[in-house]
Chain A
């Protein structure tokens, strides 16, 4: 390992918070389907996957707090930061929309995270390698579940196909942000901690491509990519999300179960 670049505490903390925020925010969005899903089986599936995501977020926040070394625990990181301090991708914070939007987003995010976790299994950071080994198995179920729905809706009725096409168009501007590189991802990749997101696009396409082919969906290129989440610049939806997510800790600071 001597020839490997070491990573600064700040860069590793920043990287961990991005991943953790993605998982917390998307997990929160998924949990909003509890009680509203189109059928009972999906009403079970949504909180189950939200639980996976929030569980992964917890593991990442705990570790981020340790690496940061400022005494912040998982609750402080999850609940007591300001909007501009969250560094999740913009796709995660979007309002759920209909079931087609939700399932397509799940497919995109899982298809992005699967190669990310797989790469992190051999991370030079033992703690992250442990988290990744577990999460990689969990995310495989998410890909299968979301992939089946994208096919069912895309290749379904006239209305379901119309909604799926609308979801593809609506989410298209949010895909490229997942694969952005910057000083943080470069530092982390050079230290052998995690793959640079830019290197994961082929693996993402290898999952999404066949699903689209089976669903009869066309990939939409857009010149107007949305970005800014990794710098804390969020959409309007984020404020509403945080208002609900943080309500208890803001109202009763330091409360525990």
Chain B
């Protein structure tokens, strides 16, 4: 009989519950954001947990914005990834506590920057943090001489900025 990890597609009988859970977690965590494929849902902090209930892996995900059209796509992708990894799967949507951009990991922030999206300002929990938010560094040249073109950008989570130093427009991931 093959060792548990030789066949990546199926959870083996002999695997411990915790190993199986971790395996399910890795499968769910590898799902990328359909609108920003440079980052995974783990990077974004959207994947809250994966628990096992018998043979069923239950993944809990949280939406970034209430009306984000990517939510459904992400839920379907997580379910598909778990089934692909050989689990029965269920995806639950949790809305509390509310997602905040502070949950984006350090790695996720760096991936966003490398992708050309300025990562959100930190410490977003206060509603007042939304105001006067002008200190955004250009993801291409690093200059802080940037100006907001539009509060609302290509998706609900992004605003449109322009860099005065390199003259490139860029997306800014709004802090929320």
List the interface of chain A (C-beta within 8 A of B): 41-42, 44-45, 48-49, 51-56, 58-59, 118, 126, 129-131, 133-138, 140-141, 144-145
Is chain B's binding surface mostly helix, strand, loop or mixed?
loop
- Contact string against A for B residues 50-93, beta-carbon threshold 8 Å, 1 for contact and 0 otherwise: 00000000000001011111000000000000000000000000
Q: How long is the Cα–Cα vector from A49 to B94 in the complex, in angstroms? A: 22
A128 CB, nearest partner CB in chain B, Å: 10
Q: How long is the Cα–Cα vector from A186 to B118 in the complex, in angstroms? A: 45
Name the A residues within 8 Å of B176 (CB-CB).
Answer: 137-138
Please count the residue pairs between chain A and chain B whose beta carbons lie under 8 angstroms apart in the complex: 82
Q: How long is the Cα–Cα vector from A49 to B69 in the complex, in angstroms? A: 13
Closest chain A residue, CB of each to CB of B176: A137
B67 touches A41 (CB 8 A): no
- Contact string against A for B residues 120-131, beta-carbon threshold 8 Å, 1 for contact and 0 otherwise: 000010010011
28 residue pairs A–B, Cβ–Cβ below 8 Å: A41-B149, A41-B152, A41-B160, A42-B150, A44-B153, A44-B160, A45-B151, A48-B152, A48-B153, A51-B65, A51-B69, A51-B156, A52-B65, A52-B66, A52-B156, A54-B67, A55-B68, A56-B66, A59-B66, A130-B96, A131-B95, A133-B95, A133-B98, A134-B98, A137-B98, A137-B127, A138-B66, A144-B131
Name the B residues within 8 Å of A44 (CB-CB).
Answer: 150, 152-154, 160
Q: How long is the Cα–Cα vector from A41 to B161 in the complex, in angstroms? A: 11
**Interface size class of chain B, counting residues whose CB lies under 8 Å from the partner chain:** 20 to 34
Is B174's beta carbon under 8 Å from chain A? yes
List the interface of chain B (C-beta within 8 A of A): 63, 65-69, 94-100, 124, 127, 130-131, 149-156, 160, 174, 176
A133 touches B67 (CB 8 A): no
Name the B residues within 8 Å of A137 (CB-CB).
Answer: 98, 100, 124, 127, 130, 176
Q: Contacts A136-B127, A137-B98, A141-B174 hold; do A55 and B151 have CB atoms under 8 A apart?
A: no
Name the B residues within 8 Å of A54 (CB-CB).
Answer: 67
Cβ-neighbour of B97 out of A51, A133, A136 (below 8 A): A133
Q: Contacts A133-B97, A134-B98 hold; do A48 and B130 have CB atoms under 8 A apart?
A: no
Q: How long is the Cα–Cα vector from A54 to B67 in the complex, in angstroms? A: 6
A134 touches B95 (CB 8 A): yes
Q: How long is the Cα–Cα vector from A21 to B160 in the complex, in angstroms? A: 31
A203 CB, nearest partner CB in chain B, Å: 12
Name the A residues within 8 Å of B97 (CB-CB).
Answer: 130, 133
Q: Contacts A45-B150, A133-B97 hold; do A141 and B66 have CB atoms under 8 A apart?
A: no
Closest chain B residue, CB of each to CB of A257: B72
B107 CB, nearest partner CB in chain A, Å: 24
Cβ-neighbour of B67 out of A56, A130, A141, A144 (below 8 A): A56
Closest chain B residue, CB of each to CB of A42: B150
B66 touches A135 (CB 8 A): yes
Q: Contacts A41-B149, A52-B67, A137-B176 hold; do A59 and B156 have CB atoms under 8 A apart?
A: no
A58 touches B67 (CB 8 A): yes
Q: How long is the Cα–Cα vector from A144 to B174 in the complex, in angstroms? A: 14
Q: How long is the Cα–Cα vector from A207 to B93 in the complex, in angstroms? A: 33
